[in-house]
Amino acid sequence: MPKHILIFDSGIGGLSVYKEIQYQLPLAKYIYAFDNAAFPYGELTESVLIERTTHIISQLCTKFAIDIVVIACNTASTIVLPTLRGKLTIPVVGVVPAIKPAALVSTKIGLLATPATVKRTYTYELIKSFAPISDVQLLGSTRLVEMAEEKMIGVDVDLKELKDILSPWQNKVDTIVLGCTHFPFLRNEIKKVLNGNVLLIDSGEAIARRVKQLLGEHEEDRREMIKGEVYCSAPTKNEEALNKTFRELGFNSLQYLDYPRF
């Protein structure tokens, strides 16, 4: 039996994490779920975020006999992990900004994240623990999340707008932590508007290694990928473009969650 891996995000940014995990575990069965009805998560209260996330993930864990859950959202990871780990009997892996590896190579670090992640006490504790002698500058942007989502369905990134957002960091940081799973999709554009003079670090590869470690070694009797399943919580006007993206990544067409609106 293939391992069943559930990857969850508020949008399609978690596909950057999926790519890293799928590279290391190509024969697993993947279920990708995103709560677009509540996108972006940074604007929700903690209680609503916990309620929505646990409802969706519990539903899919039962439906697919999931072996491991990956919360591919920095905002959700800092809030819902204790609740999910208390409710589920399977491993739950979260995402945290890659401050530690960044501090190993630089003292001029920029943390690019959502406004919610930038404000979290957890983020400042990471900096204090792993980058105490570094100059870490924080920049929170919801618009970058939207730009990444748009790029994934074929919309060109406005480089002037991107440059304006990142202008406070021009020539001031040499290493940028991509503290949102959407941002790796903007990697080339970020380097371009900052003249290529930055190192970009994200958590995707580390998450994939952790998932592989937790699942352990197992024999596969197949040599072909299994089509993945993808679910969202609300209809989207970009369904055709989204389905094209998901099919290219090895998923079946988009399905909708049985989910009460609240």
Per-domain residue ranges of the chain: 4-95+205-256, 99-201
| Helices 142-152, 159-166: crossing angle, 10 deg rounding | 150
Report yes or no: 74 and 181 within 8 Å, Cβ to Cβ: yes
Closest CA to 231 of 9, 54, 2, 1: 9
Closest CA to 60 of 9, 12, 97, 105: 9
- pLDDT of residue 237 exceeding 90: no
Determine if residue 236 is labeled as part of a ligand binding site: no
CA 121/CA 10 separation, integer angstroms = 21
- pLDDT of residue 22 exceeding 70: yes
pLDDT grade, residue 262 (50/70/90)? very low
Q: Which residue has the tokens 């994939």?
A: 208
Summarised one tens digit per residue, pLDDT across range 185-234 is 999 999 999 987 899 999 999 999 999 999 986 656 556 788 999 999 99
Of 73, 103, 112, 176, which is the active-site residue? 73
Which CATH class for the 99-201 domain?
A: alpha beta
Closest CA to 181 of 108, 114, 93, 120: 114
Strand pairing category for 135-140 and 108-113: parallel
**Catalytic status, residue 73:** yes
CA 107/CA 175 separation, integer angstroms = 8
Higher pLDDT, 196 or 76: 76
Of 180, 193, 207, 211, which is the active-site residue? 180
Q: Which CATH architecture has domain 4-95+205-256?
A: 3-Layer(aba) Sandwich (3.40)
Determine if residue 141 is labeled as part of a ligand binding site: no
pLDDT grade, residue 141 (50/70/90)? very high
Query: Mean pLDDT, to the nearest integer, of 81-93?
Result: 95
